[in-house]
Amino acid sequence: MMKKYFLLAFSLLFGLSQSQIIRKYSNEFLNIGAGARGLAMGGAVVSNQDDVYSPMWNPAGLMAIERDWQGAAMHAEYFESIAKYDYLAYAKVLEEGVFGVSIVRLGVDNILNTTQLIDTEGNIDYDKITKFSQSDYAAILSYAFNPGGNPKLDVGVNAKIVYRNVGKFANGYGFGFDIGAIYKADNGWKFGGMLRDATTTVNFWSVNQGELSTVVNGEEFNPAPKDKMELTMPKLNVGASKIFNINSSVYVLPEAGINVDFAKTAALVSTDFASITPYAGAELGYQKMIFVRLGVNRFQSITDIEDLKRKVSFQPSAGIGIRYRGLTLDYAITNSGIGGSNFYSNFFSLKLDMGAFRND
């Protein structure tokens, strides 16, 4: 029954999106990812994320949860704590699959509002400066299952509800779907893929013209945008991974793959139809208790402002983790990529696996 509801909603959204004008970018806060493990590995977890953090990388990974339930939380701050990013998630094993729910928030508080700084006659009044917050929220419902009962193939779907608020100026509501799959080969390799915003994600905006605009000497400044709708283009992430056991206590888990944006970007391979950039990461584990992780992604072709020569840039990341029974604490240092920034931030995430506790 759960699968039928997801497929019905998926079909309805697909029909709606085909009748609209598609924009290149929106809802970028949902592309940051969640869980310090995946962020430390540069997002190289499309085929191997196997816990409650899976919905942000590949919802099919929820099928790796075998018992009871898991809960998780993550917190990060950017730009000297100006922006805050939070994630909460819960996943429960059902009779025919795994259900999950995730909450995401990215917010910036205490932004100066200067839209009313100048009155209608051109006079400056600093008492008119106020503050507001800009916040992005998303609730994600996930369901993973084995189609046809095939244990080698896991499939997962995300249904996303988005709310975005820009103080008293504007707010928007949106909805969309992701779909992912993981295939487990007999030789130990795993192949994963996730199509984000598979039908395009629709955002409907409401703009408060009175708060946004200012009229000075009969001329309007900050006019409200005419278009009140955003459609997020799909993105495809695919990767392959395999565990290599060094000895009975130590293993290495590498993954490599590509990210495909269906838009022209600064990626290494970029066309009007799609842009492709590689990624890679690895996890070194000791007795499944201590972990060291490295990753690299966001390869781009940029122009140096000094000599005007083209060069390749990339984003490294790293982190560590520790697990005791059913409790896992992970840390990562990486660049979120928000607004194209080059600032690195610290990510901390916590996971509680009730199935592991009870098994011990």
pLDDT at 97 over 90: yes
C-alpha separations of 313 from 266, 268, 297, 304, 342 in Å? 10, 9, 9, 10, 11
For 254, residues 6+ apart whose C-beta sits below 8 A from its C-beta are 44, 241, 242, 244, 280, 281, 282, 283
DSSP assignment of 349-360, as one string? EEEEEHHHHHH-
Alpha-carbon torsion, ordered 203, 209, 210, 211, to 10 deg: 50
Q: Who has greater pLDDT, 153 or 18? A: 153
Residue 9 lies in a domain: no
If one compares 219 and 202, the residue with the highest pLDDT of the two is: 202
Residue 49's domain spans which residues? Answer: 21-356
Q: Is it the case that residue 241 has pLDDT exceeding 50?
A: yes
**Structural domain includes residue 5:** no
**pTM tops 0.85:** no
Q: Which CATH number covers residue 350?
A: 2.40.160.60
Flag whether pLDDT at 352 surpasses 50: yes
Evaluate if residue 101 carries a pLDDT over 70: yes
Cα 215 to its chain centre, rounded Å, is 39
- Among 161-165, 227-231, 244-248, the range with the most confident prediction by mean pLDDT is 244-248
Q: What pLDDT, on a 0 to 100 scale, did the predictor assign at position 308?
A: 61
- Which pLDDT belongs to residue 147? 94
In a domain, 16, yes or no: no
Number of domains present in the structure of the chain: 1
Euclidean distance between CA atoms 275 and 262, whole angstroms: 6
- Asked whether residue 195 is assigned to any structural domain, the reply reads yes
Region class of 308: left (phi > 0), else alpha (psi between -120 and 50), else beta: left
Q: Answer whether residue 11 is part of any domain.
A: no
**Could you give the CA distance from residue 148 to residue 142 in angstroms, rounded to a whole number?**
19
Q: What is the mean pLDDT of residues 18-38?
A: 72
Position 41 confidence tier, pLDDT thresholds 50, 70, 90? very high
Domain assignment present for 291: yes
114-143 residue pLDDT tens: 666 666 666 776 666 667 778 899 999 999
- When mean pLDDT is compared across 124-128, 173-177, 181-185, 211-215, the lowest value belongs to 211-215
Quick one: pLDDT band at residue 16, thresholds 50, 70, 90?
A: very low
For residue 8, tell me if it sits in a domain.
no
Q: Determine, yes or no, domain membership for 10.
A: no
Distance CA 349, CA 304 (A): 36
